[in-house]
Structure 1
Amino acid sequence: MKISGVDIRPGNIIEYETGIWKVGKIQHTQPGKGGAYMQVEMKNLVDGRKTNVRYRSADTVEKVHLDTKDFQFLYAEDDSLIFMDKDNYEQITLPKDLLGDAAAFLTDGMDVSLELYDEKPISVALPSQVEATIVEADAVVKGQTASSSYKPAVLENGVRVMVPPHIESGTRIVVDVYDRTYVGKVS
């Protein structure tokens, strides 16, 4: 399926130079001179190479169709992650670097989607938002709550996020997995 260069989003799998690439980061830029373009950071899913490519709105790319299958995360072992097929209970082992930074948010029993290309898993999609507990948060500085400032906090999985000043240690929050940003408090 062909899509415009400005319709590329993080997580998309596209064809580029006869390879299969996963889009990591995008940045839409409108220079003062010339047309707008999308700066796209991609990683090759076969050999792990990374590249940056500029796409203008007139450019089109081939979005790769992947088969999606539901799996359950069982446990981590060294640099490997063990998943179980929810249909036939078969286990599959994948390298931890396939998930990148999102691997820190995996919890035992979490439901994930594996994207398959020619029956081979090439990508793991976690839920976009997860709940986590703050184990360490800086103290609030008096008068700081008047402005919309954020303070650093550490989650139970060791990930650092910026949270509003009223959030304290021990609070359960909702975090965006891919942006690593605070979404809200668990009600």
Structure 2
Amino acid sequence: MLSTTDFRRGLKIEMDGVPYEIVDFLHVKPGKGGAFIRTKLKNMINGRVVENTFRSGEKMVKPDLESKDMQYLYRESEDFVFMDMESYEQMHAGAAQLGEKGGYLKDGMELKMLLYKGQPLDIDLPASVVLQVAETEPGVKGDTVSGATKPAQLETGITVNVPLFVNIGDRIKVDTRSGDYIGRE
């Protein structure tokens, strides 16, 4: 059990059978009456943010979250297929659950997956990944204005702005948190 005194950003709690992550909170102590905590909570299943108020000292349930080492295997229509590294069981995660993170997955990539009651919620990607440029316009010689970029589609389907000297087939390093080009490999 968690108390409202344990609240901090990033803490995960369960309300009405749904896991939430605390995005923001404010401890309010009015002149009259008991103290309370205003919170912004992110639903970890559908991503919606809700506001809720708790009385000071109120008890909350800690959600049944589990972090597992997984390996990304392949994409099957709208689902991403992962394999548990311990039991070798396969698990499907929908594109809607992973959001933009799905664009950085390469076959065979090892990562941590957050599970709630055995169902996938989220994945922890490495800070950067190396991907191959599948499609981009050729850089024109002499077109070297400092800092100029062009869009490039990578092997996984995501589009990243890259410098003009990057060509099709180049392997580039991309920041998974911001989606920015870091450098060539």
Which TM-score applies when normalising by structure 1?
0.65
Q: Indicate the structure (1 or 2) with the bigger Cα radius of gyration.
A: 2
Please give the residue correspondences for 1:16-165 in structure 2 after superposition, counting only pairs within 5 Å: 19-21=19-21, 44-46=43-45, 48-51=46-49, 66-141=65-140, 144-165=143-164
Structure 2 residue aligned with 1:35: none
> Is the 1:98–1:124 Cα contact (8 Å) retained in structure 2?
no
- For residues 66 and 171 of structure 2, the distance between their equivalents in structure 1, rounded to whole angstroms, comes to 34
1:129: Cα distance to partner?
1.2
CA RMSD of aligned residues (A): 3.3
Please give the residue correspondences for 1:1-16 in structure 2 after superposition, counting only pairs within 5 Å: 2-3=7-8, 12=10, 14-15=12-13
1:134: Cα distance to partner?
1.1
Amino acid at match of 1:20: Y
More deviation, 75-84/134-143: 134-143
> Is the 1:22–1:44 Cα contact (8 Å) retained in structure 2?
no
Structure 2 segments unaligned to the other structure (5+ residues): 1-5, 24-39, 52-59
More deviation, 64-73/122-131: 64-73
- Judged with a 3 Å threshold, the aligned counterparts in structure 2 of structure 1 residues 86 and 99 are, in CA distance, closer, same or farther, namely same
- For residues 153 and 22 of structure 1, the distance between their equivalents in structure 2, rounded to whole angstroms, comes to 36
1:87: Cα distance to partner?
0.9
**Which consecutive aligned stretches of 4+ in structure 1 deviate over 6 angstroms post-superposition?**
none
- Judged with a 3 Å threshold, the aligned counterparts in structure 2 of structure 1 residues 178 and 13 are, in CA distance, closer, same or farther, namely farther
- Judged with a 3 Å threshold, the aligned counterparts in structure 2 of structure 1 residues 145 and 108 are, in CA distance, closer, same or farther, namely same
State the identity %.
Answer: 33
- Judged with a 3 Å threshold, the aligned counterparts in structure 2 of structure 1 residues 145 and 17 are, in CA distance, closer, same or farther, namely farther
- Judged with a 3 Å threshold, the aligned counterparts in structure 2 of structure 1 residues 152 and 120 are, in CA distance, closer, same or farther, namely closer
